[in-house]
Structure 1
Amino acid sequence: MHTQFEAHNVPSLEPDKNWRIWWMLLRPHTLTAAFIPVTIGTVMAFKEGFMNIWLFLAMLLASILIQAATNMFNEYFDYIRGLDNAESVGIGGAIVRNGIKPKTVMGLALAFFAIAAALGVYICMISSWWIAVIGILCMATGYFYTGGPKPIAYTPFGELVSGFCMGVVIILISYYIQTGMIALDVFLLSLPISILVGAIMLSNNIRDLDGDKENGRKTLAILIGQKNAIRFLASMFIVSFILIILFVVTGIATAWSLLVLFSIPKARQAVKQFIGKKKPIEMMPAMKSTAQTNTIFGFLLSLGLFISFLI
């Protein structure tokens, strides 16, 4: 376990690299998990003739801030628990490699939460104060995902919780604040997005399987083993595509939603990049491809929905 002062005995940072350090602290590859659901929920509201651009922007920024803060809590608590060091793979590295103080990371995360809460007040004033209850629960989930005595990320439920909150909940809220309604088709279309957000978490846990096991975590990847976890990841991709096809066949979505099928090659690539890999650094491309699958799938679904509403 590293000591508290080791992370800060580093040379001063070059000015042109400072922005990259803060940018990587946000873990930008995960932020589309906030952007895509808000966009889909808003596009579905547009179908019903509702579109308040300021509500959309407020919801989008609040979701991104909560996601970024959650990433910072992750970095902070993993450092405090001695799980991260300068050789750790795949983390932002602001604390252990770049010399940023842990309290600075925590303070920035709390500041992001405060701004998100202020945006939430604005959203509630225009829509419903019930949104505040859901917003508080989402923020609590973001904190306790890696914080608290029994972090969610250390259990087999990390994929389920993150997928539900970042998929179903955000899409439904984004739709509700625009329309004042909840619709079955919106809920159904949120399911494949939820699955793909969960897939991002699973890919992270596959990469970190050995280290997490040594530190006493009991993630889904640890419980079922690496090979089965990769198979489960592949099944998550398959189910997401099948759901869209079923929605088109049953009339819940139009044929334009089949644009998501163009993201299949990226999903296949993600699975193939995991197969046979043992070292975390070797699995980084697979993690990136998994996140890109969610981004491409979500963008194409949003585009397909939008086109279908225009014609």
Structure 2
Amino acid sequence: MNRWVEAARPRTLPLAIASTILGNILAYVDGHFLWTIGALAILTTLLLQILSNFANDLGDTQNGIDNADRKVALRAVQTGAISPSEMKKAVYISALLAFISGISLLYISLQTASIEIILGFLVLGILAIAAAIAYTVGKRPYGYMGLGDLSVFLFFGLVGTVGVYFLQTLEFKFVTFLPAAGCGFMSVAVLNLNNLRDLENDKKQGKLSIPVRIGKTAGFLYQKFLYILTILSFGLFPMLNHGTPPTLMQSSTMLAAFIPIALLANKLQPSLTPAQIDPYLKKTALITLWLILVFGFTQIFLSE
């Protein structure tokens, strides 16, 4: 059981549900919230993340990315703790569970929606499952071409937040794209740290992540730019949502979320080794969840 828990990478799960929690918070603030929809959305997201982690473990080993040169954050298939055939079965099972959970979510939330919207969300769900697998599995995984950042931004930012908001409210609200983008930027920040940690090995194996393409120094500048975009996205939301600047209390409360991001950005320097970079993945994921919770507090209790 321990080997499967490790392969599921529990430290990635708080980040995975951040956008789903954010979408539920935004819907609750606007007076639309059902616990069944919220819970199923979180469950589906968790299953998709576990699917992605299992597929990543399998694909990176099969494609030679996870090899003897990898010394930090060793993977289950790479070390032999789980065989490739076992992991392949786990990928199939987790994909099936994610599909069942997703279908249940759509059935409950879209009963009064048009057939076009139902089909649109069904296609979106299938694409999410395909994206989780194709990131590293197959002959031409898109994660090896530097497209992982875009996929993470879309699915763990825009789709996760705006999609859940729609499932709760049955309406799109353009301003929700701002915090959704902020959540997406933080998710990309975690992926970029992962790629900075693995930069040298990825370069040897031909995995063209963003840091491999632009270099380590520029990769850390990109990391800090993502943090800046996050703060701007969440900071602008109250003014655009209500048409007035945030109150002093709201601004002061949000500082409790923004200051850890700034402190984290200050500590990330190109001189860090892979082993020194690795802990910051978990820290960034937890700070993302903290950001969402603080933001939710300001919207629920400090609005009006």
Q: Judge conservation of contact 2:67–2:78 (CA < 8 Å) in 1.
A: yes
In structure 2, the CA distance between the partners of 1:229 and 1:112, relative to structure 1 (3 Å rule), is: same
Choose which of 59, 68, 71 in structure 1 pairs with 2:41: 59
- Residue 246 of structure 1 aligns with which residue? 236
Deviation track 1:31-65 (CA, whole Å, cap 9, x = no partner) reads 12221111111111112322111111111101110
Q: Match of 1:285, as an amino acid?
A: P
Once the 2 structures are TM-superposed, how far is the Cα of residue 276 of structure 1 from its aligned partner? 4.2
Question: What CA deviation, in whole Å up to 9, does each residue of 1:110-148 have, x standing for no partner?
Answer: 211111111122122223323211101111111111122
Q: Which runs of 5+ in 2 are unaligned?
A: 111-117
Which residue of 184, 191, 195 corresponds with 1:201? 191
Q: Which runs of 4+ in 1 moved over 4 A?
A: 251-255
Contact kept? 1:203, 1:287, Cα under 8 Å: yes
User: Which residue is equivalent to 1:7?
Assistant: none
Is the CA contact (8 Å cut-off) linking 1:266 and 1:292 kept in structure 2?
no
Q: Write the distance in 2 (CA, Å) between the matches of 1:141 and 1:221.
A: 21
Instruction: Flag the 1:248–1:44 CA change in 2: closer, same or farther, 3 A.
Output: closer
Q: Does 1:107 align with 2:89?
A: yes
**TM-score, length basis structure 1:** 0.86
Q: Secondary structure at the match of 1:297?
A: helix
- Letter of the aligned partner of 2:145 in structure 1? T
Q: Check if 1:179 corresponds to 2:169.
A: yes
Structure 1 CA distance for aligned equivalents of residues 170 and 63 of structure 2 = 43
**Paired residues of 2:52 and 2:133 also in contact (CA < 8 A):** yes
Change beyond 3 A, Cα 1:139–1:29: same
For the residue of structure 2 that corresponds to 1:96, the secondary structure is: helix
Q: Which runs of 5+ in 1 are unaligned?
A: 1-17
AA aligned to 2:300 is F
Match of 1:300 in 2: 294
Partner of 2:114: none
1:286 match: 280
Q: 1:254: Cα distance to partner?
A: 4.6
Aligned residue identity for 2:288:
N
Q: Who is 1:32 aligned against? A: 14
Q: TM-score, normalised by structure 2?
A: 0.88
Distance 1:205 1:224 in 2: 12
220, 237, 256: which one pairs with 1:230?
A: 220
Helix, strand or coil: the match of 1:31?
helix
> How many pairs were matched up?
292
| Paired letter, 2:146 | P
Identity of aligned residues (%): 23
Higher relative contact order (CA 8 A, sep 6+): 2
**Superposition deviation, residue 282 in structure 1:** 2.3
- Residue of structure 2 equivalent to 1:163: 153
Deviations 1:192-244 (A, max 9, x none): 11111111111111111111111111111111111111011111101211222
